[in-house]
Structure 1
Amino acid sequence: MSLRLSTVILPYRRWHEGARSAWMRAEQLGFHTAYTYDHLTWRSFRDGPWFGAIPTLTAAASVTERLRLGTLVTSPNFRHPVTLAKELISLDDISGGRITLGIGAGGTGFDATALGQEAWSPRERADRLAEFVPLLDRLLTEDTVSYEGSFYSAQEARNVPGCLQRPRLPFAVAATGPRGMRLAARYGQAWVTTGDPKLYEGGTPEQSVEALRGQLGKLADACAAIDRDVAGIDKILLTGFTPDRGRPLESLDAFVDFAGRHKELGFTEIVIHWPIPDSVFAADEKVFERIAMEGLAQLG
């Protein structure tokens, strides 16, 4: 399978003060998908502007025609499957069927406590995701759903006419643990990883590659357990969180080297962050655009 190149455009700018032009430029540059984070705010951006993912993607859909759009990723931290399903069906319709839902268990950041609850433990997050994903799958594929679970309920939730994409818009499930991998195998059209977080500070690129190889093996095992061909699942690497986090955007050659190594592992999509000055995602915009236009061709 050929490698695709996508980007993440963080929602930190006002629509008419740079955000609109970035989404339009992403299509012009030929990216496969442009994602955005689905957070209430994020790390170093906490005290600055930050806009909602669904309205941002709706606006992006109105100024693009071919570019796929998506979240990377949505989580149960502040979402409910019933209301999320209605928003996704609407967004899929507005975009003409160009939406991918990245979905994961979430973390312990600002989203985790913004609604007034205590941050959930890793096990609690996994428990909620295990209920959230199957219910969302039903809500996006059935006209009417009633459900009573441990964390979520639906009472005759109606979702006519459903997604424009059939049977529903694709899920890209972010997972590294066994329960998340099982969800990806059963419900995912794609699987997402950022690498091994334990290697972020002190690891090496070589260690990261081996960790990713191990994750891919776990995904294959989860697929084999339900007789699904792992080749039918896209494998997405969100860059910026591996030990060589800044290197892929240092130069065209650096990107080609990075992308080539990860393509050999079996990844089908590489996602790079749109440059943000004075942040962890700072990068030369000219280099970034050259990578977008020439990077994949250099891989041969």
Structure 2
Amino acid sequence: MAMRLSTVILPIHRWAEGQKIWRRAEALGFHAAYTYDHLSWRSFRDGPWFGAIPTLTAAATVTGRMRLGTLVTSPNFRHPVTLAKELISLDDISGGRITLGIGAGGNGFDATALGQEAWTPRERADRFAEFVPLLDRLLTEGAVTHEGTHYSAHEARNVPGCVQRPRLPFAVAATGPRGMRLAARHGQAWVTTGDPKLFETGTPEQSRAALRGQLEKLDKACADAGRDAAELDKILLTGFTPEANGVLDSVDAFVDFAGRHAELGFDEIVVHTPIPDSMFAADPVVFERIATDGIAQLNS
């Protein structure tokens, strides 16, 4: 399978400017453009930050080929019933081009923005384990009633359902055993950012070894679920591995990075659209050359 290249466009731009970036991403030939689904995020907390679903809805109206999605949505401030309604609407508006990246969430600003105490890792995993199957049902069944530990639905209706059948694809972000099981059972793709413990002090070789280990765990989870792991796309979201700062330095650097990860088994590499004076700063000219030439070189 040919390697695919996608991008993340953070929701930091007023739409008069933002629409130009989404249009340009499609013109450059990206397979997909994703955005983060947060209420705010890290160093961007005190600057502009817009909602993911409205941003993707607007992006759907100014693009026509490129897939669109979240990397990632989490239960931190979402409920499956309301999220499902928004997703079927977004899938319809986009003509069936939506992928839902979904993860357990973290302990950042989203975790306490609604006034709650941040959940422990176990609580996040428990909620995620209930959230994903319920959302799956909500997007595939006409009416859903569910009484769970964390989420309830009472005759929730999502007619006519998704344009994509049986529902829009889930790209499940997971590294632990419980998340891997969810990916194996409900995912059409699996997402990772690598091993966070290696980001600042690890080596590229250690990072690839950790990713190889994650892929082996995914294989086992799929085997336990009676599923072939080859059915799932494997997506690497870059920017959080030891070589993060160098991936977009040149076309050659990108081709080397993507090639090494293709050898591990990844199908899709996701790079951040450059943002000046941030952790995602990069030369926009080189970025565009990577978009137009990098994957072509890799797949030639």
TM-score calculated relative to the size of structure 1: 0.99
Quote the offset at 1:42 in angstroms.
0.4
Aligned to 1:242: 241
Aligned to 2:5: 5
Q: Distance in 1 between matches of 2:137 and 2:226?
A: 21
- Once the two structures are superposed, the pairs formed by residues 210-225 of structure 1 within 5 Å of their partners are 210-225=209-224
Question: What secondary structure sits across from 2:69 in the alignment?
Answer: strand
Quote the offset at 1:298 in angstroms.
1.2
Q: Distance in 1 between matches of 2:107 and 2:81?
A: 23
- Once the two structures are superposed, the pairs formed by residues 168-247 of structure 1 within 5 Å of their partners are 168-247=167-246
Q: Report the AA paired with residue 198 of structure 1.
A: K
Q: Distance in 2 between matches of 1:204 and 1:190?
A: 26
Q: Report the AA paired with residue 57 of structure 1.
A: L
Q: Distance in 1 between matches of 2:181 and 2:222?
A: 7
Aligned to 2:84: 85
Residue-by-residue CA offset, 1:105-138 (whole Å, 9 max, x unaligned): 0000000000000000111000000000000000
Residue-by-residue CA offset, 1:182-213 (whole Å, 9 max, x unaligned): 00000000000000000011000000000000
1:147 matched to 2:146? The reply is yes
The alignment's C-alpha RMSD in Å is 0.4
Structure 2 gap ranges (5+): none
Question: What secondary structure sits across from 1:172 in the alignment?
Answer: strand
Q: Distance in 2 between matches of 1:100 and 1:82?
A: 18
Residue-by-residue CA offset, 1:41-98 (whole Å, 9 max, x unaligned): 1000000000000000000000000010000000000000000000000000000000
Q: Distance in 2 between matches of 1:112 and 1:20?
A: 29
Quote the offset at 1:226 in angstroms.
1.5
Quote the offset at 1:103 in angstroms.
0.2
Aligned to 2:266: 267
Quote the offset at 1:222 in angstroms.
0.2
Q: Distance in 2 between matches of 1:22 and 1:209?
A: 31
Q: Percent same amino acid at aligned positions?
A: 80
Q: Distance in 2 between matches of 1:24 and 1:150?
A: 42
- Once the two structures are superposed, the pairs formed by residues 1-300 of structure 1 within 5 Å of their partners are 1-16=1-16, 18-299=17-298, 300=300
Quote the offset at 1:162 in angstroms.
0.3
Question: What secondary structure sits across from 2:247 in the alignment?
Answer: helix
Quote the offset at 1:2 in angstroms.
1.4
Q: Report the AA paired with residue 195 of structure 1.
A: G
Question: What secondary structure sits across from 1:246 in the alignment?
Answer: helix
Question: What secondary structure sits across from 2:123 in the alignment?
Answer: helix
Structure 1 gap ranges (5+): none
Quote the offset at 1:297 in angstroms.
1.4
Q: Report the AA paired with residue 2 of structure 1.
A: A
Quote the offset at 1:257 in angstroms.
0.3
Question: What secondary structure sits across from 1:292 in the alignment?
Answer: helix
Quote the offset at 1:227 in angstroms.
1.5
Question: What secondary structure sits across from 2:105 in the alignment?
Answer: coil
The aligned length equals 299
Quote the offset at 1:274 in angstroms.
0.2
Question: What secondary structure sits across from 2:99 in the alignment?
Answer: strand
Q: Distance in 2 between matches of 1:290 and 1:105?
A: 34
Quote the offset at 1:296 in angstroms.
1.0
Q: Which 4+ runs in 1 deviate beyond 4 A?
A: none
Question: What secondary structure sits across from 2:278 in the alignment?
Answer: coil
Q: Distance in 2 between matches of 1:220 and 1:34?
A: 27
Q: Distance in 1 between matches of 2:43 and 2:19?
A: 22
Quote the offset at 1:293 in angstroms.
0.2
Q: Report the AA paired with residue 190 of structure 1.
A: A
Q: Report the AA paired with residue 206 of structure 1.
A: E
